[in-house]
């Protein structure tokens, strides 16, 4: 006897419906608060239903709704009272449920029918990798996912900084005068000179000395850089005086935010490296595979033995391409699925880029593909 349980989770509560293999609802639907006592009462209800119906296989499904279902998923996966029913917990990508729902042309859109659709998706089979929780990997996973969040935040902040920089000094963006627009020298130029006019008016010798001081004498040809900077300043758009002070404040604050976030990434990297020491692995034997990429991949894959082959891992990561074929036509260029684990996909891509920089064999292979 298999029991299929569809759960719709929200921030305050969750709803569940239970069906047998024929799609018959065999128990009264239940609604519980999304907290520990609510989860406990739901577990007791499941045990009662399973015992009354001689259930030997329990499959539970829910949608991935931010973090609202995280605690419930952990509880159901590790609950000793449910162990004898061999529970398998599946967390579906909302796109999967939305597409499956299209088969039902006459049902309304509410939480209770969402439970039905999720349970029917479980009954249909061809399920994704079972999301059985391995608690060993959870601390590492929270750290690597937070690092991903920090990197995305830094990227957004840098893009916002560049839009404001273009308003103040458009030509420094266009001409790429400085190799690192977020470096120490660039920061000094943008904060110590109120406007491009001040740079254009500064004598060349003084500007060279300024660049050498702020760049700690790292410029190979400071005179050429100073001339390029003066030329860019002379060609830049002139702003109304009332705009300069707000823009300078925004740029300085944005740079400070970026510096703070970058310091946080360094702290998280140390924590990741410390946590990774609990997981002996062979990934780090590859040239270019540092602790961050290694930790990101291990944290998301968990036990590699739950995958049958490398194709299953690629599908889990969303690193597969849809086939498009009709008659004798088959498309060569098809889109990436991107329906898998976004964190694993990110760390796979970052690791591949790092390895091709360090390993000449992969660098040669990449160059052929790129060409």
**Would residue 8 be called left, alpha or beta, if left means φ above 0 and alpha means ψ between -120 and 50 degrees?**
beta
The residue-averaged pLDDT of 268-296 equals 95
Q: What is the pLDDT of the chain when averaged over all its residues?
A: 90
Q: Is the pLDDT of residue 130 over 80?
A: no
Q: Is the pLDDT of residue 285 over 80?
A: yes
What CATH number does the domain located at 2-133 have? 3.30.420.140
Q: Give ranges for CATH 3.30.420.140 in the chain.
A: 2-133
pLDDT at 241: 77
The pLDDT tens digits of the residues spanning 311-370 come to 989 988 989 888 777 777 887 888 888 778 899 999 999 999 999 999 999 999 999 999
Q: Find where tokens 């110590």 sit.
A: 192
18-21: long-range pairs with CB below 8 Å, 24+? 18/49, 18/119, 19/116, 19/119, 19/120, 19/123, 20/53, 21/123
Largest interatomic CA distance in the chain: 89
Residue 5 bridge partners (DSSP):
18, 60
Q: Is 148 left (phi over 0), alpha (psi -120 to 50) or beta?
A: alpha
Query: Given a cut of 80, is residue 132 above it in pLDDT?
Result: no
Cα torsion for 71, 75, 78, 79, to the nearest 10°?
170
Mean local confidence (pLDDT), 164-173: 90
Over range 261-275, report the average pLDDT. Answer: 97
Whether the predicted pLDDT of 210 surpasses 60: yes
Tell me the C-alpha distance between 113 and 6, whole Å.
9
Long-range own/partner contacts, residues 98-102 (CB < 8 A, 24 or more apart):
100/124
pLDDT at 18 over 90: yes
pLDDT of 19 over the 60 cut = yes
Does the pLDDT at position 41 exceed 70? yes
Residue 9 pLDDT grade (very low, low, confident, very high; cuts 50, 70, 90): very high
Mean pLDDT computed over 135-161: 95
Nearest partner of 208 among 196, 221, 193, 194, judged by Cα? 221
User: Mutual orientation of helices 342-358 and 360-370 as an angle, nearest 10°?
Assistant: 110
Q: What is the pLDDT of residue 239?
A: 84
Q: What is the pTM of this model?
A: 0.81
Question: Would you identify the CATH topology of the domain 140-266?
Answer: Helix Hairpins (1.10.287)
Q: What is the mean pLDDT of residues 33-41?
A: 95
């Amino acid at each position: 006897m298999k029991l299929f349980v569809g759960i719709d989770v929200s921030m305050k509560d969750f709803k569940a419906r239970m069906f047998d293999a024929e799609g018959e609802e065999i128990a009264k639907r239940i609604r519980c608060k999304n907290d520990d006592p609510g989860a406990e009462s739901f577990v007791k209800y499941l045990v009662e239903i399973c015992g009354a119906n001689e259930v030997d296989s329990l499959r539970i499904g829910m949608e991935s709704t931010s973090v609202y279902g995280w605690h419930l998923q952990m509880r159901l996966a590790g609950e000793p009272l449910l162990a004898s029913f061999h529970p398998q917990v599946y967390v579906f990508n909302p796109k999967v449920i939305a597409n499956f729902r299209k088969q039902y042309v006459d049902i309304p859109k509410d939480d209770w029918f969402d439970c039905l659709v999720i349970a029917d998706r479980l009954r249909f089979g061809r399920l994704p990798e079972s999301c059985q929780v391995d608690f060993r990997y959870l601390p590492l996973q929270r750290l690597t996912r937070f690092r991903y969040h920090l990197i995305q935040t830094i990227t957004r902040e840098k893009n916002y900084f560049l839009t404001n920089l273009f308003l103040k000094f458009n030509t420094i963006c266009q001409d790429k005068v400085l190799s690192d627009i977020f470096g120490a020298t660039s920061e000094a130029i943008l904060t110590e000179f109120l406007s491009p006019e001040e740079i254009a008016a500064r004598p060349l010798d003084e500007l060279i000395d300024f660049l050498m001081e702020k760049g700690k004498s790292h410029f190979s040809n400071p005179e050429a850089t100073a001339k390029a900077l003066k030329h860019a300043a002379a060609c830049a758009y002139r702003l109304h005086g009332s705009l300069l002070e707000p823009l300078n404040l925004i740029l300085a604050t944005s740079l400070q935010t970026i510096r703070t976030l970058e310091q946080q990434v360094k702290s998280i990297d140390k924590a990741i490296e410390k946590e990774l020491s609990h997981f002996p692995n062979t990934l780090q034997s590859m040239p270019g595979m540092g602790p961050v990429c290694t930790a990101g991949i291990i944290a998301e894959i968990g036990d590699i033995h739950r995958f049958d082959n490398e194709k299953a891992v690629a599908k889990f990561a969303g690193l597969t391409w849809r086939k498009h074929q009709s008659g004798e036509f088959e498309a060569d260029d098809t889109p990436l699925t991107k329906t898998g684990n976004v964190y694993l996909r990110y760390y796979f891509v970052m690791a591949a880029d790092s390895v091709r920089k360090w390993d000449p064999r992969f660098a040669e292979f990449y160059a052929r593909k790129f060409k």
